[in-house]
């Protein structure tokens, strides 16, 4: 087959960078979205062409669409991977942060998808949306992040049913713990936001934030590598008839399986028991 294009957003580090390299190694020409010139220099390699792309900037999204439209190669897949992790209790997270999370983790993906759908319809390509286990189960302090991922899953379902008759496939990827820089940045952001809580909010949620951060660090350290995650993404990109959803990591498969069979109250108790051992000594769980 002639070489085809793939767009991967959020390719500076982590899963996005690994996916770009994995797909280039399989013979695709990858347009790897990055936000800074130094990230472009780091990702540039044989088969990987960096493009400056902030998915919340309409001008950069349109420039990407023009780059794809001007290439004689068909666009085989769009991998919507860009994202940020911002964790805080619902009460304590400022509205500006809520809007930022949804702008990056949901609206930006929709904007890129809208811009590239004409090319994907011509090629009968596919859209790969990188969601999260948080798109199926919302842990405490994950209200904004999980809310955007839940919404991304719903948008993916709607889009799949809209474009399947037109020959375009839509796949959702749901990673659990993956050893990337994103988790570390998420913990740092959570600590910054916790420092801005009022004394009353800190009394209510301080122990919870500590427990969640400890659990996140533990889960990330025991998670799969970004390269292993990239191989799952490559499977979704290249399989002739991909599944509508793929999980990444045993933790994601286990928790999503439990969510299917346990009641909400039972799942609440399981979550609370899992968190309790991570609370600081003397704190109330």
Which residues are the active-site residues? 145
Strands (DSSP E) found in 150-211 = 169-175, 178-179
Please state, in angstroms and rounded to a whole number, the distance separating the CA atoms of residues 61 and 233. 22
Please list the residues that pair with 127 across neighbouring strands: 78, 170
Q: Of 136, 129, 82, nearest to 105 (Cα)?
A: 82
Q: Residue 22: which residues within 8 A CB-CB, separation 6 or more?
A: 227, 230, 231, 233, 234
Please state, in angstroms and rounded to a whole number, the distance separating the CA atoms of residues 217 and 131. 19
Helix (H) / strand (E) containing 145: helix 143-163
> Tokens at residue 60, please?
């950069």
Helix (H) / strand (E) containing 254: helix 250-261
Which DSSP symbol is given to 139?
-
Residue with tokens 């280039």, as numbered in its chain? 24
């Amino acid at each position: 087959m002639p070489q085809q294009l793939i767009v991967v957003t959020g390719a500076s580090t982590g899963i996005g960078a690994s996916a770009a390299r994995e797909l280039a190694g399989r013979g695709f020409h990858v347009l790897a979205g990055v936000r800074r010139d130094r990230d472009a220099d780091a990702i540039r390699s044989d088969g990987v062409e960096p493009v400056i792309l902030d998915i919340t900037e309409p001008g950069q999204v349109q420039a990407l669409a023009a780059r794809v439209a001007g290439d004689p190669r068909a666009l085989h897949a769009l991998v919507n991977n860009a994202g940020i992790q911002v964790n805080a209790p619902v009460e304590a997270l400022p509205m500006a942060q809520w809007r930022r999370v949804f702008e990056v983790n949901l609206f930006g993906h929709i904007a890129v998808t809208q811009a590239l759908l004409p090319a994907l319809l011509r090629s009968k390509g596919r859209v790969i949306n990188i969601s999260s286990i948080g798109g199926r189960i919302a842990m405490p302090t994950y209200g904004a992040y999980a809310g955007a991922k839940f919404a991304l899953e719903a948008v993916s379902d709607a889009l799949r049913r809209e474009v399947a008759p037109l020959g375009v496939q839509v796949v959702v990827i749901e990673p659990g713990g993956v050893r990337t820089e994103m988790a570390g940045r998420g913990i740092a952001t959570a600590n910054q936001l916790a420092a801005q809580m009022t004394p009353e909010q800190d009394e209510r949620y301080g122990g919870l934030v500590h427990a969640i951060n400890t659990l996140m660090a533990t889960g990330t350290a025991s998670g799969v590598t970004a390269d292993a995650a990239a191989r799952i993404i490559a499977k979704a990109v290249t399989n002739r008839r991909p599944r509508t959803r793929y999980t990444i990591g045993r933790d994601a498969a286990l928790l999503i399986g439990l969510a299917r069979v346990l009641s909400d109250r039972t799942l609440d108790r399981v979550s609370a028991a899992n968190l309790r051992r991570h609370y600081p000594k003397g704190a109330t769980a």
